[in-house]
Amino acid sequence: MQKKGLLIVVSGPSGAGKGTVLAHTIAKYSNLKYSVSVTTRAPRAGEVDGVNYFFKSVKEFEEMIARCEFLEYKRVYDNYYGTPLVNVQKQLDDGYDVVLEIDTEGALDVKNIYPDAVMIFISPAKRSTIEERLRGRSTESEEQIQTRTQSALKEIRQAVFYDYIVVNEDSQKGAMDIIAIIEAEKCKVKNNKKFIDNLINGGK
Amino acid sequence: MQKKGLLIVVSGPSGAGKGTVLAHTIAKYSNLKYSVSVTTRAPRAGEVDGVNYFFKSVKEFEEMIARCEFLEYKRVYDNYYGTPLVNVQKQLDDGYDVVLEIDTEGALDVKNIYPDAVMIFISPAKRSTIEERLRGRSTESEEQIQTRTQSALKEIRQAVFYDYIVVNEDSQKGAMDIIAIIEAEKCKVKNNKKFIDNLINGGK
């Protein structure tokens, strides 16, 4: 029905299990593709340019910023990370649905540039889950865990700016929810104006 | 996540195959229930009061109209048909999702009274399908078929007022689309404000 793909933006606090939910989603729903980010950090062993990241120099990255070639970008310590607009556009034009996994700040930038983006917030089921997951996977101090928990709660406050919230109690169920959201969005009247117009005015 | 059910309004031109799609949907998705309508027409053989319809006298029906007890109602020749507000409300409060299959006029009345209703338009894939289905099932004259086709096109023009359009090329796929819409709606941030508030402010 709809040729052009959907841009799906996924955010959520660390400890919400975004990565696992998205991996299940992409495994089940082959039309959904990750966007490949651009970075200035050095490739790690086994990473392939154009597959894991597009690896660029700081100079190249800053030239891309100057040419407004990013949907969103950020600097983390000495490295830049960004979502290249033209590549995302190419994937969407090819009919793929594209998912960006970005923080709430970058997500709102994307929504400004691309208002049709479908905004999904992945949340833990309970507040205590965040702390448990951070504790479970890290060797950080109690103080660091508390800081990260507070930062997670700050992210959760941004959930109200999203279209959907997927509660990750079970990552397979979370993936099914994301697929349902994509399927439902493809049925939205606003995404099928051309079809309706053809039905009313078009030939048989 | 959400206790209260969703009110789903389904419309579509005759010949779109609404009935079959909804029957498949309810068979697959047990939380979805039909609303039982009120009518003044006489029960047919095998019809049970409170199951197929609530059977009322014209006087009783008109008293219900006067008491604003209908979400929508219409008169077809000598008989009234209506959706009783209190019964729908009870099903929703019990956590069921409730589907109303009504014409575009009634659907807009429901949306006025119940703005959270999820509006789904079921459409044939091609304009020619409407005519073919009308021809296939009826013994009507060519003129009647043309009149009904025109009236179907008039209904399709109302599709733009709906939230979703489900194209019924395959009634099983149509049912899956409706289920995806319901699942996605349950993930909408606006339907989970209490959950988000609990996550931010509530206890552990």
pLDDT of residue A77: 86
Cα angle: B75, vertex B139, B19; to 5 degrees = 55
Distance CA B88, CA B117 (A): 12
Least confident span in A18-27, A185-194, B131-140? B131-140
Which residues of B are less than 8 Å from A192 in CB distance? 165
Which residues of B are less than 8 Å from A162 in CB distance? 189
For residues B145 and A2, which has the higher predicted lDDT (pLDDT)? B145
The stretch A87-95 carries a mean pLDDT of 94
pLDDT tens for each residue of A23-73: 999 999 999 999 999 999 999 999 999 988 999 999 999 999 999 999 999
ipTM of this complex: 0.89
Query: Does A177 sit within 8 Å of B183, measured CB to CB?
Result: yes
pLDDT of residue B202: 73
pLDDT surpasses 70 at A105: yes
pTM: 0.90
Picking from A199, A200, A201, A204 by the largest number of B CB atoms within 10 A of its own CB, the best residue to mutate is: A199
For residues B140 and B93, which has the higher predicted lDDT (pLDDT)? B93
User: Among all residues of chain B, which has the CA nearest to that of A202?
Assistant: B127
Question: Residues 84 to 123 of A: which have CB under 8 A from any B CB?
Answer: 120-121, 123
pLDDT surpasses 80 at A133: no
Phi, psi for B114 (deg, rounded to 5): -130, 80
pLDDT of residue B8: 97
* Residue A126 contacts B, CB cutoff 8 Å: yes
Look up residue B123 and give its two tokens. Answer: 């459409």
pLDDT tens for each residue of B69-88: 999 999 988 999 999 999 99
Instruction: For A84-104, give one letter per residue: b (16+ CB within 10 A) or e.
Output: bbebbeebbeeebbbbbbbeb
For residues A151 and A163, which has the higher predicted lDDT (pLDDT)? A163
pLDDT surpasses 50 at A2: no
The stretch A158-167 carries a mean pLDDT of 95
For residues A184 and A16, which has the higher predicted lDDT (pLDDT)? A184
pLDDT of residue B138: 62
Distance CA B184, CA B188 (A): 7
Q: What is the DSSP string of B143-202?
A: HHHHHHHHHHHHHHGGGGGSSEEEE-SSHHHHHHHHHHHHHHHHHBGGG-HHHHHHHHHS
Query: Does A1 sit within 8 Å of B167, measured CB to CB?
Result: yes
Query: Does A162 sit within 8 Å of B204, measured CB to CB?
Result: no
Nearest chain A CA: its distance from B45 CA (Å): 39
pLDDT tens for each residue of A167-194: 999 999 999 999 999 999 999 999 999 9
* Residue B204 contacts A, CB cutoff 8 Å: yes
Query: Does A200 sit within 8 Å of B157, measured CB to CB?
Result: yes
Average pLDDT of chain A to the nearest whole number = 91
pLDDT of residue B195: 92
Which residues of B are less than 8 Å from A166 in CB distance? 187
The stretch A152-168 carries a mean pLDDT of 93
pLDDT band at B141; cut points 50, 70, 90: confident
Look up residue A120 and give its two tokens. Answer: 């999904």
Query: Does A123 sit within 8 Å of B196, measured CB to CB?
Result: yes
pLDDT band at A136; cut points 50, 70, 90: confident
Which residues of A are less than 8 Å from B163 in CB distance? 188-189
pLDDT surpasses 50 at B2: no
Query: Does B184 sit within 8 Å of A185, measured CB to CB?
Result: yes
The stretch B2-20 carries a mean pLDDT of 88
pLDDT surpasses 70 at B203: no
Which residues of B are less than 8 Å from A204 in CB distance? 126-128
Phi, psi for B125 (deg, rounded to 5): -75, -35
